[in-house]
Amino acid sequence: MWIGAFGFALLHGLWTTYKVTFGTLVDFHRDYVPSPNWNLNDIGVSILLITVSFLVTWLIWKMKPKK
Protein backbone atom coordinates (compact mmCIF):
# COMPACT_ATOMS: atom_id res chain seq x y z
CA MET A 1 0.00 0.00 0.00
CA TRP A 2 2.88 2.34 0.79
CA ILE A 3 4.42 1.78 -2.64
CA GLY A 4 1.10 2.63 -4.31
CA ALA A 5 0.72 5.85 -2.31
CA PHE A 6 4.32 6.84 -2.97
CA GLY A 7 4.06 6.06 -6.68
CA PHE A 8 0.82 8.01 -7.01
CA ALA A 9 2.23 11.03 -5.17
CA LEU A 10 5.42 10.96 -7.24
CA LEU A 11 3.57 10.69 -10.56
CA HIS A 12 1.13 13.40 -9.49
CA GLY A 13 4.04 15.70 -8.62
CA LEU A 14 5.73 15.05 -11.96
CA TRP A 15 2.46 15.54 -13.87
CA THR A 16 1.76 18.79 -12.01
CA THR A 17 5.25 20.06 -12.83
CA TYR A 18 4.81 19.11 -16.49
CA LYS A 19 1.39 20.77 -16.82
CA VAL A 20 2.43 23.94 -14.98
CA THR A 21 5.66 24.32 -16.95
CA PHE A 22 4.17 23.75 -20.38
CA GLY A 23 1.00 25.68 -19.56
CA THR A 24 3.12 28.68 -18.63
CA LEU A 25 5.27 28.33 -21.75
CA VAL A 26 2.20 28.12 -23.99
CA ASP A 27 0.79 31.28 -22.45
CA PHE A 28 4.18 32.98 -22.69
CA HIS A 29 4.57 32.25 -26.42
CA ARG A 30 0.94 32.64 -27.46
CA ASP A 31 0.48 33.72 -31.10
CA TYR A 32 4.26 33.76 -31.58
CA VAL A 33 4.45 37.11 -29.83
CA PRO A 34 6.37 36.58 -26.60
CA SER A 35 5.22 38.70 -23.73
CA PRO A 36 8.04 40.27 -21.72
CA ASN A 37 5.97 40.13 -18.53
CA TRP A 38 5.05 36.98 -16.64
CA ASN A 39 2.04 37.12 -14.38
CA LEU A 40 3.50 37.07 -10.86
CA ASN A 41 0.35 35.49 -9.42
CA ASP A 42 0.56 32.55 -11.85
CA ILE A 43 4.22 32.02 -11.03
CA GLY A 44 3.48 32.02 -7.29
CA VAL A 45 0.63 29.53 -7.64
CA SER A 46 2.78 27.31 -9.87
CA ILE A 47 5.65 27.27 -7.40
CA LEU A 48 3.23 26.54 -4.55
CA LEU A 49 1.61 23.63 -6.42
CA ILE A 50 4.96 22.08 -7.31
CA THR A 51 6.32 22.53 -3.77
CA VAL A 52 3.24 21.01 -2.12
CA SER A 53 3.22 18.07 -4.55
CA PHE A 54 6.81 17.17 -3.82
CA LEU A 55 6.43 17.86 -0.08
CA VAL A 56 3.60 15.31 0.05
CA THR A 57 5.77 12.83 -1.86
CA TRP A 58 8.63 13.39 0.59
CA LEU A 59 6.30 12.92 3.58
CA ILE A 60 5.01 9.63 2.16
CA TRP A 61 8.61 8.55 1.59
CA LYS A 62 9.42 9.32 5.24
CA MET A 63 6.46 7.16 6.37
CA LYS A 64 8.03 4.11 4.73
CA PRO A 65 7.35 1.08 6.92
CA LYS A 66 10.32 -0.68 8.47
CA LYS A 67 10.82 -4.34 7.68
DSSP for residue 30: G
In a domain, 67, yes or no: no
b/e per residue 6-30 (b: at least 16 CB within 10 A): beebbeebeebeeebeeeeeeeeee
**Residues of the chain whose pLDDT is less than 50?**
none
In a domain, 46, yes or no: yes
Give the range of the structural domain holding residue 33, as residue numbers without chain letter.
2-62
- pLDDT, residue 29, reads 67
pTM: 0.59
* Angle, vertex CA 12, rays to CA 6 and CA 18, nearest 5: 140
- pLDDT, residue 35, reads 60
- pLDDT, residue 45, reads 79
- pLDDT, residue 33, reads 62
- pLDDT, residue 47, reads 84
Q: Count how many domains the chain has.
A: 1
